[in-house]
Amino acid sequence: MKQFFLYLMSAFFVFTGVMHFLTPKTFLGIMPKFLPYPLQLVYISGACELLFAILLVIPTTRYWGAWLIILLLVVVFPANIQMAVSFYRQQNPYLWLALLRLPLQFVLIWWAWLYTRPNITD
């Protein structure tokens, strides 16, 4: 079961990483306005998600992959805040979903942290 959740997390980040390249406008819409080069940052964050997901499934790099995913989740948190603020201002009916993403980020951080511990998938 532990292996299943490891591969599930990796697949989640592979999927979202690929989506950064297939639908960059979606991610541009939640990019905080104060950041320069938003399109490039969308592509960079997508590439990081792909790379870190791969590192996560390789036993010898799992520790670093998990810590890099945690770092990425912290770094992109302002985008989740921006999404919630934008949805609120636009009276978007999916505001509830944007608000749900905020605590979900902490769940994802905890989940990744589990893979920083030795022998978590044994």
**pLDDT at res. 97:** 94
The residue ranges of every structural domain in the chain are 2-74+105-114
58-86 per-position pLDDT tens digit:
999 999 999 999 999 999 999 999 999 99
Q: Which of 10, 19, 18, 98 is nearest to 59 (CA)?
A: 10
Task: Enter the pTM of the model.
Answer: 0.91
Q: What percent of the chain has pLDDT over 90?
A: 90
**pLDDT at res. 15:** 97
81 phi and psi, to 5 degrees? -65, -45
